């Protein structure tokens, strides 16, 4: 959840995608639920790491045709994920781990943007 | 001119008061060279950058990281006119060092992550927002004199 709050606070332009939610404050139930959905999605990507394009097909179609999220925002969310990792696991988040996660998140972002056009 | 809230001024001053210039700068620059290997192109004379291990213990890189973070002091002392305060440095990076300005963003991200790891829970969303706004202004000032 702190991930979504962090993104909405540091990059207020991302709030435009959640105008239909009543409560965007800290501790909001909708935000908590959404954070879980996003993290689970990333977990799914980890499981399908050897063929992200195929594995994330459904999610890609969702983001392309229904959610229509501008792909720049994937970079923004990826950065926020890295910040949360750095805070939560300072000793384990070595530069080597960082480059691996950054590379993975970039690949996930690419796969999510696959169906856009 | 950039508008800074009191919270932002205090947060930024607070961060710089707490950081250890020697290690933070060194760690951030090493991280940048490891995570974004193409940035190594600017460090041809800096000795052994062969792998992550070598980069992390390279004394020239460590020294340079410290220089860069000290360069941020200029913005800290001139919060109300960062644009002009960086004219000279911008010309240096453009005309002499020939650094692609996108690298400023990459280093800024690495510095943010290094700080996050150091500050832990204190690096909350509002603090992150203030620091990233600061870095965005500095990066923009550094890009201004490119032509």
Cβ atoms of B107 and B29 within 8 Å: the answer is: yes
Q: Which residues contact A68 (CB under 8 A, 6 or more apart)?
A: none
pLDDT digits (tens, 9 = 90+) for B19-62: 998 899 999 999 999 999 989 989 999 999 999 999 999 999 99
Structure confidence at residue A22 (pLDDT): 83
DSSP B21-51: HHHHHHHHHHHHHHHSGGGGGGGTTSS--SS
CA distance A96 to chain B (A): 7
Which segments of chain A have a pLDDT < 50? none
CB hemisphere CA count around A77 (13 angstroms): 20
Query: Is the ipTM beyond the 0.95 threshold?
Result: no
CA distance A72 to chain B (A): 15
DSSP B67-131: HHHHHTHHHHHTGGGHHHHTHHHHHIIIIIS---THHHHHHHHHHHHHHHHHHGGGS-HHHHHHH
Which segments of chain B have a pLDDT < 50? none
Q: Which of residues 94-113 of A touch B (CB under 8 A)?
A: 95-96, 98-99, 102
pTM: 0.88
Which chain B residues are Cβ-neighbours of A102 within 8 angstroms? Answer: 35
Cβ atoms of B93 and B142 within 8 Å: the answer is: yes
Identity of the residue in B31, B118, B125 whose CB atom sits nearest the CB atom of A95: B31
Look at residues A20, A19, A42, A21 and name the one whose alpha carbon lies nearest to residue A30: A21
Structure confidence at residue A74 (pLDDT): 93
CA distance A32 to chain B (A): 15
Kindly determine whether residue B128 and residue A10, on different chains, have CB atoms separated by under 8 Å.
yes
Cβ atoms of A52 and A104 within 8 Å: the answer is: no
pLDDT digits (tens, 9 = 90+) for A8-27: 999 988 988 888 888 888 77
Tokens 């879980």 sit on residue: A36
Using the Cβ of A114 and the Cβ atoms of chain B, whether some distance falls under 8 Å is answered with no
Cβ atoms of A38 and A3 within 8 Å: the answer is: yes
Interhelix angle B125-143/B102-119, rounded to 10 degrees, is 150
Size of chain A in residues? 117
Using the Cβ of B13 and the Cβ atoms of chain A, whether some distance falls under 8 Å is answered with no
Look at residues A98, A88, A85, A77 and name the one whose alpha carbon lies nearest to residue A11: A77
Q: Which residues contact B90 (CB under 8 A, 6 or more apart)?
A: B141, B142, B143, B144, B145, B146
Tokens of B49: 């950058």
């Amino acid at each position: 959840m702190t991930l979504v709050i962090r993104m909405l606070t540091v990059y207020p332009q991302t709030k435009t995608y959640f105008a239909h939610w009543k409560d965007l404050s800290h501790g909001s139930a909708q935000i908590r639920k959404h954070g879980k959905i996003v993290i689970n999605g990333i977990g799914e990507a980890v499981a399908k790491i050897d063929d992200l394009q195929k594995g994330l097909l459904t999610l890609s179609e969702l983001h392309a045709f229904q959610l229509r999220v501008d792909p720049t925002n994937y970079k923004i969310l990826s950065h926020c994920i890295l910040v949360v990792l750095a805070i939560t696991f300072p000793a384990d988040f070595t530069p080597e781990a960082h480059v691996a996660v950054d590379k993975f998140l970039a690949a996930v972002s690419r796969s999510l943007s696959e169906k856009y056009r | 001119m950039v508008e800074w809230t009191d919270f932002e001024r205090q947060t930024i001053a607070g961060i710089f008061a707490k950081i250890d210039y020697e290690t933070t700068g060194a760690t951030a620059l090493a991280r940048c060279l490891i995570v974004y290997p193409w940035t190594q192109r600017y460090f041809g004379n800096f000795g052994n950058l062969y792998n992550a291990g070598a980069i992390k213990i390279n004394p020239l890189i460590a020294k340079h990281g410290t220089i860069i973070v000290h360069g941020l002091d200029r913005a800290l002392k001139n919060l109300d006119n960062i644009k002009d305060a960086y004219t000279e440095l911008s010309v240096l990076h453009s005309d002499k060092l020939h650094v692609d300005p996108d690298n400023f963003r990459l280093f800024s991200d690495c510095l943010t992550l290094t700080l996050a790891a150091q500050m832990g829970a204190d690096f909350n969303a509002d603090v992150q927002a203030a620091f990233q706004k600061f870095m965005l202004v500095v990066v923009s000032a550094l890009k201004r004199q490119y032509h």
